[in-house]
Amino acid sequence: MNRYGKEFTKGILRENPVLRLVLGTCPTLAVTTAAVNGLGMGAAATFVLVCSNIVISLLRKVIPDKVRLPAYIVIIAGFTTIVQMLVKAYLPSIDQALGIYLPLIVVNCIILGRAEAFASKNSVGLSTLDGLGMGAGFTASLVVMGSIRELLGNGTLFGWPENGLLPPITIFVLPAGGFFVFGMLIYLANKLSHRLDKDAAKKELGTQVCAACPMASSCHTAGACETGQSNPVTEPDSKEVKENG
């Protein structure tokens, strides 16, 4: 996969801002009482994230290093205000549901985090893709979490069907349920990502060892030979991966 594809897809699972980097937890927990709220919040935050990434990337050589954070915050606050006005005008019900969390997009750590860690150092194209990928990851996590909480807590999914599919367990739409579902989702994401990391590491390890192997040209078991499989020094430490989460 080329660089551009990589920058886009990394935000969706491997570096998912909510489930892997654990950023932007406040809106994640607060607005996910229904799937549609999660979708609205995700879309609004993605808009701000992509726009601010583009502008910050364009201005990265103009903004002096010392005042970069205030400058980023002003840019982000500007786009947040635009989103606030748009949502208020065209989607009043979403505005009602998101309430105070809509202006609070400005202090969403994902957005400032990407500005500082990525957009301030990379080209406009890459920053746009990074913003889109991270936004997609954020939105996906919110929708998944909103769906789970809505289904269990209210018995519906995106407000359908009216009478509910399941008997509602109200605690899931209460704050306590938010913490609980979020904890379980992070657990699952860690497990999944851990497995992916292990597979990837094994593959990489194989090619590295094979490159140094004098028999490489005549070998057909690429990456699966004995030297490639059991190397205690370079095997990724499972404990470390878990602690990072």
Partner 1 sequence: MDKGSLLAILIGGLLVNNFVLSQFLGICPFLGVSTELRSAVGMSLAVIFVMLMASAATWPIYTYLLVPNDLAYLQTIAFILIIAALVQLVEIALKRFIPPLYKSLGIYLPLITTNCAVLGVTILNIDSGYGFVQSLVNALGAGLGFMLAMVMFAGVRERLESADIPSGLKGLPITLISASLVSVSFLGFQGLFGL
Note whether 81 binds partner 1 by CB under 8 A.
Answer: yes
Of positions 46, 53, 57, 80, contacts partner 1 by CB under 8 A = 80
Of positions 190, 197, 202, 223, contacts partner 1 by CB under 8 A = 190
Integer Cα distance of 188 and 137 in angstroms = 15
**Spatial CB neighbours of 54, under 8 Å, sequence gap ≥ 6:** 119, 124, 127, 128, 131
Give the SS3 label for residue 164.
coil
Q: Which is nearer to partner 1, 125 or 183 (CB)?
A: 183
Burial of 65 (0-12, 13-18, 19+ CB in 10 A): exposed
Shortest Cβ 49–partner 1 spacing (Å):
14
Of positions 5, 92, 183, 235, contacts partner 1 by CB under 8 A = 183
Site size toward partner 1 (CB under 8 A) is 43
Of positions 133, 135, 177, 206, contacts partner 1 by CB under 8 A = 177
C-alpha angle 29-148-18 in degrees, rounded to nearest 5: 40
Q: Which is nearer to partner 1, 112 or 152 (CB)?
A: 112
Note whether 222 binds partner 1 by CB under 8 A.
Answer: no
Of positions 48, 50, 157, 186, contacts partner 1 by CB under 8 A = 186
Q: Are 18 and 24 in contact (CB under 8 A)?
A: yes
Note whether 77 binds partner 1 by CB under 8 A.
Answer: yes
Please give the radius of gyration of the chain, using alpha carbons only, rounded to the nearest integer. Answer: 22
How is residue 65 written in tokens?
């290093």
Taken in order 127, 40, 28, 160, the sign of the CA dihedral is negative
Distance of CA 129 to the CA centre of its chain: 13
Note whether 112 binds partner 1 by CB under 8 A.
Answer: yes
Note whether 70 binds partner 1 by CB under 8 A.
Answer: yes
Q: Are 128 and 53 in contact (CB under 8 A)?
A: yes
Q: Are 241 and 194 in contact (CB under 8 A)?
A: yes
Note whether 159 binds partner 1 by CB under 8 A.
Answer: no
Note whether 118 binds partner 1 by CB under 8 A.
Answer: no
Where along the sequence are the contacts to partner 1 (CB under 8 A)?
22-23, 25-27, 29-30, 69-70, 73-74, 77-78, 80-81, 84-85, 100, 103-104, 106-109, 112, 171, 174-180, 182-184, 186-187, 190-191, 242-243, 245
